[in-house]
Amino acid sequence: MALLTKEIEEKLQEQSYLGSEIDQQDVICKVYNAFGPGCWYLINQDPEEGDYLWCIASFDGKLWELGCVLKSELESVKVGDQPLIQLDLNFQQMNAAEAFNRLYNGEQL
């Protein structure tokens, strides 16, 4: 099963031309490690190379940074035959700069 829906990927790709300008983009979705630390707030996806996702990420819940993650890596991590990385179905799309600032200041989204 794919981590991201076609609709999510289309929204991510629509913002790709903005690159790393997070104040002009939204976080489209959140994916997280269902069994431990690790959280990625996805901002855009390269339409030419769909494996590259631009995101806000943290592995300890404290140090948040902007960077790239490979979709294939997120999808490949499993516990038995179950995917380790899950899509947060309750996350509401929001401005990426606002999300980064809130996360950096210790808020949970």
Q: What confidence score (pLDDT) does residue 80 get?
A: 86
Q: What percent of the chain has pLDDT over 70?
A: 99
Q: What is the pTM of this model?
A: 0.94
What is the reported pLDDT for 1? 65
Contact 84, 1 (CB under 8 A): no
C-alpha dist (Å) from residue 71 to 81, 90, 98, 104, 107: 18, 20, 24, 24, 25
Token reading at 83? 């995917």
* Chain segment 6-29, per-residue pLDDT in tens: 999 999 999 999 988 999 999 999
Give the model's pLDDT for residue 81: 86
Report pLDDT digits (tens) over 26-43.
999 999 999 888 999 999
91 pLDDT band, cuts 50/70/90, is very high
pLDDT tens digits, one per residue of 52-78: 999 999 988 888 999 999 999 999 988
Helices and strands, counts by H and E, the chain: 3, 9
Query: What are the backbone angles phi and psi of residue 71, rounded to the nearest 5°?
Result: -60, -40
Show the CA angle centred on residue 108, arms to residues 29 and 56, nearest 5°.
45
